[in-house]
Chains A and B, each alone.
Chain A
Amino acid sequence: MSKKLIYLDNNATTPCDPRVVEEMVPYFYDLHGNAASRNHPFGWRSEEAVDYAREQIANLLNVDAKEIIFTSGATEADNLAIKGVYEMYARKGNHIITLETEHKAVLDTCKKLEKMGAEVTYLRVDRLGRVDLKELEAAIKDNTILVSIMWANNETGVIQDMKAIGEICNRKGVLLMSDATQAVGKIPTFPKEVGIHLMAFTSHKMYGPKGVGALFVNRKNPRVKVTAQMDGGGHERGMRSGTLNVPGIVGFGKAAELAQKEMAEEAQRLSVLRDKLEKTLCESLEETYINGDVENRMPHVTNISFKHVEGEGLMMTFNQEIGVSSGSACTSASLEPSYVLIALGLGDDLAHSSIRFSLGRFTTEEEIDYTIEEISNGVNHMRNLSPIWEMYKEGVDLDAIEWTAH
């Protein structure tokens, strides 16, 4: 393949920034020590490197370095936060509140806890993907120990009003955890300012390496504790045992430093490109809809439904060259479309017709222009092939047809 591939799936993972990789390399070779080796320079140097990275990450979040617990990624951090709180605060209660549109790392963790005796409330979101604050407040009960609400949604980029949520949780005296995987490093995320007690995030969504993430755990007012889910040498203040991934953590730290410096400018640049992509497609293709709250959204994400076009088929028209993601789950055995889009109230047909574009640090305007052209051609190709597009154009009421569900 001679053509350059275009990557617009940065919500799935980002490429490493070369400046990150450069920092990491020595820690695979000369500086290979175990950060927990207390008795020789190899260990000391690794420990210093980890401490420095912890500072870099803490600075990005405006928290104390001691409040950062390293994990293998955001999934582990989500698990540690939710299961850890459930165990640690068992005497206070067993009720957890979360959202229908959370990532599976949160939802499946909650489902598992339900089997172990937890009571979980899954709050709905509105048409725009936002939680109703009154419903949230009303859901908090005497036995509620944790509210877990993601900062920004991975599929739609919709941002929740974390400050208002934090205010409610603090007034009601319950802990607030946020899966901020998609937000950290892209928009300002200061947990203490909004009243978040636990926050999960990961390196590979912010131009750092895969395999390393972190959980922020508030240390003062209140002092939050979680029961370790990984037992062993008592690393990370006893909350997460296991030898630290030193090169990964060094890269994570550098990625945080770069994000802090470049975030504002990058967000501005990407929102211009995203808006161009979105606007051009919506203007040139009829029956095209943007999913989620466009007023409260990550700057680099757009989720678009092209009516009467099946998402996976559409992707096939350009996926030899362009990497995006579809809300259609035709590839999975279940055939269920995106539960996130369904929760927004989209019909199954529009959910099947959706594509998520997530731009990133290395996206260029030229790539966006090419993408617009390819997507437009693809949608037209698919609509020419689509019997329901033909019926729609002929004015047939599609809802009146008795389809044979399979």
Chain B
Amino acid sequence: MAYSEKVLDHFKNPKNVGTLDKSSKNVGTGLVGAPECGDVMRLQIQVDDNTGVIEDAKFKTFGCGSAIASSSLATEWLKGKSIDEALSIDNMTIVEELALPPVKIHCSVLAEDAIKDAIKDYQEKNK
């Protein structure tokens, strides 16, 4: 199976790899997947308290190239978005952008889950 150029690019030069302080009140952390399934994604957002805009996003992913590309792309898209806008990111948009084949759709689903999980964590901290 050949990967699309976009997947290869995100895989080789992933954007926003790293770790934010998960104890910080304005950081939301999403951790989804399981090692035994071959995919674990950790996606973090940092929200500007005044504007409610996601000012930074970081990820680390254990998984195949498509999983890494999906999470890298997700962090790029998250930056500068409001929480509501971020919640509207749909996995199929990731599939289309990266031209993922059917067997890799679960990677995009995982990325969407990671986004929602991170937002949920942020919202619970800031109730």
Contact = CB atoms under 8 A, between A and B. Distances in A.
Interface residue range, chain A:
20 to 34
Contacts of A398: 35
B4 to A, nearest CB: 12
A310 B39 contact: yes
Interface string B37-54: 111111000000000000
Among A316, A348, A385, A388, the one with the most B-chain Cβ atoms within 10 Å of its Cβ is A385
Interface in A298-356: 308-310, 312-313, 316-317, 328, 330-333, 335, 337, 347-349, 352
Q: Determine the main DSSP class of B at the interface with A.
A: mixed
Given A313-B68, A390-B19, A403 B62 contact: no
Among A308, A316, A387, the one with the most B-chain Cβ atoms within 10 Å of its Cβ is A387
A181 B31 CA distance: 44
A384 interface: yes
The 4 closest A-B pairs by CB, nearest first: A348-B36, A403-B34, A387-B42, A349-B35
Contacts of B64: 310, 312-313, 316, 328, 330-331
B77 interface: no
A403 B1 CA distance: 29
Nearest to A334: B103
A335 to B, nearest CB: 6
Contacts of B79: none
Given A385-B17, A387-B42, A390-B19, A313 B60 contact: no
B78 to A, nearest CB: 17
Interface in B42-90: 42, 60-65, 67-68
Contact of B61 (A328, A337, A387, A403): A387
Nearest to A405: B34
Nearest to B72: A385
Given A347-B36, A385-B14, A406 B3 contact: no
B11 to A, nearest CB: 6
Contact of A330 (B41, B63, B109): B63
Given A313-B68, A348-B37, 20 more contacts: A308-B35, A309-B62, A310-B62, A313-B63, A316-B11, A316-B65, A328-B38, A330-B38, A337-B38, A347-B36, A352-B36, A385-B14, A387-B60, A387-B62, A388-B40, A403-B34, A404-B34, A405-B37, A406-B33, A406-B113
A309 B61 CA distance: 10
Among A313, A348, A352, A398, the one with the most B-chain Cβ atoms within 10 Å of its Cβ is A313
Interface residues of B, number: 33
B38 A403 contact: no
B106 interface: yes
Contacts of A352: 35-36, 38
A385 B11 CA distance: 10
A7 interface: no
Contacts of B40: 386-388, 403
B80 to A, nearest CB: 23
Nearest to B1: A331
B41 to A, nearest CB: 7
Interface string A375-405: 0000000101111111000000010010111
Nearest to B101: A331
B3 A316 contact: yes
A378 to B, nearest CB: 11
B110 interface: yes
B109 to A, nearest CB: 8
A385 B63 CA distance: 9
B106 A406 contact: yes
B9 to A, nearest CB: 12
B32 interface: yes
A348 B42 CA distance: 20
A384 B35 contact: no
B37 to A, nearest CB: 6
Contacts of B31: 387, 401
A389 to B, nearest CB: 7
Nearest to A404: B32
B13 to A, nearest CB: 11
Interface string B94-115: 0000000011001001100100
A243 B25 CA distance: 75
Contacts of B19: 390
A406 B38 CA distance: 10
A398 B31 CA distance: 13
Contacts of B62: 308-310, 313, 382, 385-389
B101 to A, nearest CB: 9
Nearest to A320: B8
Given A332-B103, A384-B17, A406 B61 contact: no
